[in-house]
C-alpha cells in the first residue's frame, strides 16, 4: 500500500512554478545596466519645431552611481552629469560652473529630453518603491511576456501613481528584458510611454538597443535613445564617480 501511494505521488505532475514578479522587474530594470556598465549612445530629441541629437558616453555602478558625458555636438561637448547615491551635479564647461541639482529640479528635463534628472537618480525606484501585481501572461514564440502593474508603496517618494510594464522572459537563455513602460499620474492620467525595441545581443547579453519616450501631453514630441556600444560588469571603483572627474569634464 505504501509503495502504491508513493507511486501515485510521483505520478502527479509538478505544478509550474509561479514567477517572482518583483525579481522579473528587477532583472528587466538591470537589463541595460548590469551591476556596472559602460556604453555609448545617441539621444535624439524631436519636436514639431526642431530636432537635435547628442552623442553620449555613460558609466553606471550598482544603480547608485552614474557618470554621463556629452561627446557631441561641439557646443555641448564636455557637459557632464554625476550621480552619487541620491545627489547629483552637472558641469557646464562653457561657464566653468558646477551646479548641484536640488530636489526641486529633479522633475526638470535632462538635456532638454523627455527624461528627467529623477529618471537618472531613481534608477531602481520601480523595484524598491512599488508593489507589483501580475495582470496576465502571454506566451509568444520563444518567450513569455508578463504584463505587470506597479503601484507605489505607502509614503514612497515617487511621482507616478501607477506604472504598467511588459517584461519578456526568453526560454533559450533565461534573459529578461523590458518591452515598455506606461507612467500614470496619481489621478490616473497617462503621462508618458516608453517603448523598448531593436532587441539584440551586445557584449553577450540580449538587450533592447532602442528606447523611445513619448510624452502624452506633447503631440509630435519624442526622445529616442539608441545604444551603439555596451559592456557590462566592468570593474569600476566608487572613486571613479568623483567630483574631481566631473570638473574635468570626464577627462
According to the model, what pLDDT value does residue 17 have? 63
Helix (H, G, I), strand (E, B) or coil at 2: helix
Query: Residue 250: what pLDDT?
Result: 61
Question: CB–CB of 145/166 below 8 Å?
Answer: yes
Mean of pLDDT values over 19-48: 95
Farthest CA pair distance, the chain:
87
Dihedral (Cα; 238, 55, 70, 197), 10-degree rounding = -50
Q: What pLDDT, in 10s, does the model give residues 110-154?
A: 999 999 999 988 889 999 999 999 999 999 999 999 999 999 999
How do residues 173-224 score in pLDDT, each as one tens digit? 999 999 999 999 999 999 999 999 999 999 999 999 999 999 999 999 999 9
What is the predicted pLDDT for the residue at 247?
Answer: 82
- The confidence band for 251, taking pLDDT boundaries of 50, 70 and 90, is low
Q: Which three cell numbers stand for residue 100?
A: 548641484
- Over residues 85-99, the mean pLDDT reads 92
pLDDT at 15: 44
pLDDT of residue 51 exceeding 90, the answer is yes
Mean pLDDT score across all residues of the chain: 91
Q: Report pLDDT for 199.
A: 96
246, 224, 228: which is closest to 115 by C-alpha? 224
Nearest of 176, 152, 173, 175 to residue 162 by alpha carbon? 152
Residue 36 sits at φ, ψ, to 5 deg, of -155, 155
- In sequence order, what are the residues at sequence separation of 6 or more whose Cβ sits closer than 8 angstroms to the Cβ of residue 58? 38, 39, 41, 66, 67, 68, 69
The answer to whether residue 5 scores a pLDDT higher than 80 is no
Is residue 229 within 8 Å of 206, Cβ to Cβ? no
pLDDT band at 6 (very low <50, low <70, confident <90, very high): very low
Backbone phi and psi for residue 243, each to the nearest 5 degrees, phi listed first: -60, -35
Amino acid at each position: 500500500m505504501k509503495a502504491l501511494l508513493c507511486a501515485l505521488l510521483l505520478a502527479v505532475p509538478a505544478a509550474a512554478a509561479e514567477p517572482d514578479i518583483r525579481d522579473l522587474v528587477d532583472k528587466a530594470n538591470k537589463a541595460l545596466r548590469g551591476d556596472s556598465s559602460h556604453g555609448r549612445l545617441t539621444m535624439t530629441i524631436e519636436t514639431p519645431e526642431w530636432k537635435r541629437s547628442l552623442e553620449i558616453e555613460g558609466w553606471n555602478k550598482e544603480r547608485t552611481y552614474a557618470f554621463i558625458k556629452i561627446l557631441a555636438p561641439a557646443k555641448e561637448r564636455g557637459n557632464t552629469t554625476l550621480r552619487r547615491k541620491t545627489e547629483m551635479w552637472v558641469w557646464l564647461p562653457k561657464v566653468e560652473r558646477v551646479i548641484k541639482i536640488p530636489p526641486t529640479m529633479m522633475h526638470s528635463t535632462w538635456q532638454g529630453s523627455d527624461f528627467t534628472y529623477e529618471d537618472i537618480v531613481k534608477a531602481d525606484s520601480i523595484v524598491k518603491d512599488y508593489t507589483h501585481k501580475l495582470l496576465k501572461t502571454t506566451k509568444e514564440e520563444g518567450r513569455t511576456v508578463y504584463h505587470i502593474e506597479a503601484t507605489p508603496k505607502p509614503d514612497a517618494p515617487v511621482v507616478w501613481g501607477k506604472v504598467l510594464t511588459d517584461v519578456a522572459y526568453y526560454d533559450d537563455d533565461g534573459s529578461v528584458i523590458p518591452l515598455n513602460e506606461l507612467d500614470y499620474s496619481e489621478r490616473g492620467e497617462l503621462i508618458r510611454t516608453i517603448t523598448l525595441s531593436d532587441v539584440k545581443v551586445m557584449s553577450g547579453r540580449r538587450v533592447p538597443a532602442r528606447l523611445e519616450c513619448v510624452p502624452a501631453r506633447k503631440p509630435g514630441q519624442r526622445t529616442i535613445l539608441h545604444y551603439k556600444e555596451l559592456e557590462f560588469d566592468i570593474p569600476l571603483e566608487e572613486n571613479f564617480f568623483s567630483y574631481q572627474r566631473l570638473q574635468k569634464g570626464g577627462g
